[in-house]
Amino acid sequence: MNVGAYSATLSLASGGSLALVLDASESAEAAQAAISTLVTGLLTALPARVACSLYFLGGAAPYSPGDFPLKAAGWFRENRGRGSILAPVAAALDTQPDTPIVIIGAGPIFDLEDWADTPLLARTTLVAMGASLQGEAMYAMEVAHPSPNELFQRVHDPVAAVRIGGDGFMPLGWGNAGYRLARLADAFLLTGERLEEFGTTLRFLAAPGGTVRAAATLVSGQTRAIALEPEPAPTERLAWQGSLTGAERAIFQAALRHEDFSCPSCGGRHRWDVLTCTEGTALLGTPVYPSLRAQPGQFALLQPGQDAVRFRVTASDVLPLEPGRVVVREGQRGTVYAYQPAAARWAAAGPLQPYHPVEGGGCYVVLL
């Protein structure tokens, strides 16, 4: 078993999500004004980035929470007399498995027992604005007559951090720049903390048939698993960004022969593996390949051709070298890691040497 290349999308609403289900039934008629006040207060307190949805018990149609203050009375009229039945809205809520649910009403929900011990009720808070919504049974957490602020504190529990990892996981690229590569024990992870937006696309290597998971830690400290559905990643075609200048090409060709070269910056001679000339006045030295430094990134791939040396600068901290081998940027150096199929882990295999060949493309890699 070797390592496979996959892609996946992590969907996670920034600031979390919340589904409100309101009771317009006969048993909640006397509590309608109190329900409206509570919902208006809660919606005012919720940050705009919380993805909120609104339903009525007995129905599956979603309503726009933003319109609630203006249209609440009409919506209650529209749904008046629906029985206190969860089934229709439960079918809609089952499609949002990570969304906390708040049901606000009065009097028993007759079919609540059909969802006993299910994930749906585990993420549900019942809010009784009159008689209990579950009678003497205890199917879900229930609070009575909370203030908008109390309810906000209880239900607003946004994501504080996300960690993605798993068997043989090695991220190659990710669309959300807020995520960082991390190493915990012998495992590589992708972590994001205190981000406005946690959703991301990602490409990664992993053990075929293994498990790659995303776990969110909420502000309250609770953790929640988030579904990831990896798919085999298509082979990526390299897009070259430019060509070395004539002087840079001469340095590159000398370096491949492990011969000293003449530095265009200081005029002196440097060893073949020097990438930054420190003889000049520049504090951090002068790159021997100014063309590469013009692009922000971690590694540069160089491909010699008949008349030119093309290059591409990569943004990710990880670059695949050949099947089962990658280089990982660790501060000012690169470390080569080799995949260990038996342990589904990546083990360090030594530092990255300048002009390390990359299999398959006739390329060489240097650390920027």
Partner 1 sequence: MLFSCDRTGFPLVQIPGTALRLHLLPVSKVQFERYLAEPGAVGDDWYSAVLAVNPRASYRAAGDADRERLLLTGILPDEAVHFARWLGPGFDLPTADEWRRGYCALSSCYTWQAELDRALAQAAPAARELVGTLRRLLNPAPLHQLALMEGGVLEWVRDGARWAGYGKPRPACYEVICEPLSCPPVTPMRAAERLPFFGFRAVKRG
When the beta carbons of 69 and 83 are compared against partner 1, the nearer one is 83
When the beta carbons of 115 and 252 are compared against partner 1, the nearer one is 115
**Least separation, in Å, of the C-beta of 67 and partner 1?**
19
DSSP, residue by residue, 187-214:
EEEEEEES-S---EEEEEEE-TT--EEE
**Least separation, in Å, of the C-beta of 128 and partner 1?**
14
When the beta carbons of 117 and 196 are compared against partner 1, the nearer one is 117
**Least separation, in Å, of the C-beta of 54 and partner 1?**
16
- Name the helix (H) or strand (E) containing 304: strand 299-304
**Least separation, in Å, of the C-beta of 131 and partner 1?**
10
When the beta carbons of 110 and 272 are compared against partner 1, the nearer one is 110
**Least separation, in Å, of the C-beta of 79 and partner 1?**
6
When the beta carbons of 57 and 277 are compared against partner 1, the nearer one is 57
What the block records as the tokens of 212 is 């790659």
The whole-angstrom separation of Cα 299 and Cα 314 is 5
**Least separation, in Å, of the C-beta of 58 and partner 1?**
4
**Least separation, in Å, of the C-beta of 83 and partner 1?**
3
Q: Which residues here bind partner 1, judged by CB under 8 A?
A: 25-27, 57-59, 78-85, 87-88, 107-108, 110-111, 113-114, 116
Which residues, in sequence order, are CB contacts of 282 under 8 Å at separation 6+? none
What the block records as the tokens of 1 is 């078993």
CA torsion sign for 148, 153, 154, 155 is: positive
CA 121 from chain centre, in angstroms, equals 26
CA distances to 86, 128, 254 from 103, rounded to whole Å, are 10, 8, 72
**Least separation, in Å, of the C-beta of 121 and partner 1?**
12
When the beta carbons of 26 and 150 are compared against partner 1, the nearer one is 26
DSSP, residue by residue, 209-229:
T--EEEEEEETTS-EEEE---
When the beta carbons of 115 and 198 are compared against partner 1, the nearer one is 115
CA torsion sign for 321, 298, 167, 233 is: negative
Q: Are 359 and 347 in contact (CB under 8 A)?
A: no
Q: For residue 36, give the nearest of 49, 20, 50, 52 by alpha carbon.
A: 20
When the beta carbons of 110 and 355 are compared against partner 1, the nearer one is 110
Pairing of strands 187-193, 286-287: unpaired
Q: Name the amino acid, one letter, at 86.
A: L
- Name the helix (H) or strand (E) containing 128: strand 124-128
